[in-house]
Structure 1
Amino acid sequence: MHTIGGAPNGLAAILCLSFDHRAELAGLRAFKAALADLPFVVSAVEVSGACDLIVEVRFADMADYRARLDALSEPLAHYVTRIETSFVCAPIDVPQPSGADPDPVFWVRCDDGHRRIAARDIDRVTAERDYVRLHVGISSWLYHGRIHELADRLCPSPFIRLHRSALVRHDHIDRFVHHGRRWTARLVDGAEQPVSRGCVPDMLRMIGDRSSMHAPPSSISVRPVEPRPTAVENLVR
Structure 2
Amino acid sequence: MLAGWLAKKICPMVFTDEGLRAALLPRCRKLKIEPPGRMDRIVGAGRARFERKFCLHVLNGLSADSARALWELATGEDGFLQELKSDPGRLGLETLLEEIVKLRRAKTLGLPADLFGGYSDRLVASWRALAWSRTTEITDALVDLLIGLVSKINTRAERKVERAIAAEAKKVHRKTEKLFSIAEASLRRPEGTVRQVVFPAVPGGEATLQALVAEAKADAKTFKAPGAHRADQLIFLLLPADAAQVAGRA
Verify same fold: TM over 0.5: no
Bucket of the pairwise TM-score, normalised by the shorter protein: under 0.3
TM superposition score normalised by structure 1: 0.24
- In the superposition, the TM-score normalised over structure 2's length comes to 0.23
Q: Identify the structure with bigger relative contact order (alpha carbons < 8 Å, sequence gap 6+).
A: 1
Structure with the higher fraction of residues in helix conformation: 2
